[in-house]
Structure formats: structure tokens, C-alpha cells
Amino acid sequence: MLILLAFIILFHIISAALLFISTIDNAWWVGDGFFTDIWHQCLNETNCTALDNSLPEYASIQTVQATMVLSTILCCVAFFVFVLQLFRLKQGERFVLTSIIQLLSCLCVMIGASVYTDRRAELHRAPLYGRFEVEGGRFGYSYILAWVAFAFTLLSGLMYLILRKRK
């Protein structure tokens, strides 16, 4: 039981780290001479500008920003609730709230990454990029980490449901 508990704690910490990195790092869409994330766009690795309401699809990018930040916060809250529930509740009631919060975090990641996937073409067609062929770019590692974090948060949420019945 102790090994399983240690594994779940480690899994949860990795999930939170993946969410944090994918939310703040600047590599959701990359190409030759440019890279962009949900906060900035950088041309020539030196000319970085924040995404603002001059972007035609700003509402979509705000949705991605909000859901990714919310998923990171929910994942951290779930960890603290897990620690509190570990010592406070009796066996049948443990980890249900943690599981629900973690599954909500999973849902937020899925929504954010799905919106970015769906609106990618419109997001990178903006005239802000100038001569760079942004449509010819590819998904960066932060985008991939967001989907990996989705899988990790889903698995950890399900593990909490399974763990609540264990002695």
C-alpha cells in the first residue's frame, strides 16, 4: 500500500509539473525562425510580443489560457486535498474529492488543447507574423506536454478512485 501511495504521489507531482511547463513555456507552435505559445509570439528568437486583442482569434487563445491555468491550479489543489484526506477521512470516503478535482483538471487540459488544435489554422493566419510562413509550422513540445499531462491527470484521477477502496 505504501508503494502504491508513493507511486501515486510521484505521478501527481509529475502531472502538475507537466501542466506548469506546458502552460508557461513558449513552444506550442514552432517553425523556422518563429515560435509561439498561448501567451507570446516570437520572431527571430528576439522579437517577442504578447498576444493581445489585436489577434483575430483572441477569444480562442483566451480560452486556452484560462483552461490551462485552471487545470494547473486544480492539479495543485487536488494534491493538497489528497494530503489532507490521507490523514483526516476514514477509508471509504478517502480520495473521492481528490479524484473529482483531478478529473476536472483533466477536463480543463482537454478543453484547452482541443480548442488550440481546432483553432490552430486561424490563430496562425494573423498578419502579425509578417513574412514568416507560420502555417508551415508544427506543434511544439509544450503542446505535446499538454496532451501528455491530460493523460497523466486522467490516470491519476482514476487511480484516486481505485485507491479509495484499498486498505
Q: All 3 cell numbers of residue 150?
A: 491530460
Q: What is the CATH number of domain 1-165?
A: 1.20.140.150
Query: Across residues 32-37, what is the average pLDDT?
Result: 80
> Do the beta carbons of residue 97 and residue 81 sit within 8 Å?
yes
Angle at Cα 68 formed by Cα 125 and Cα 55, nearest 5°? 25
pLDDT in the model for residue 100: 92
Label residue 33 left, alpha or beta by phi (over 0 means left) and psi (-120 to 50 means alpha): left
Span 81-118, pLDDT tens digits: 888 887 776 655 667 888 899 999 999 999 999 999 99
This prediction has a pTM of 0.86
For the cut 60, the answer to whether the pLDDT of residue 35 exceeds it is: yes
Least confident of 7-16, 24-33, 51-60, 127-136: 127-136
Spatial distance between the Cα atoms of 27 and 140, rounded to a whole number of angstroms? 5
Average model confidence (pLDDT) for the chain?
A: 83
Count of residues making up the chain: 167
Q: All 3 cell numbers of residue 56?
A: 483575430
pLDDT in the model for residue 8: 82
161, with CB counted inside 10 A (0-12, 13-18, 19+), is: middle
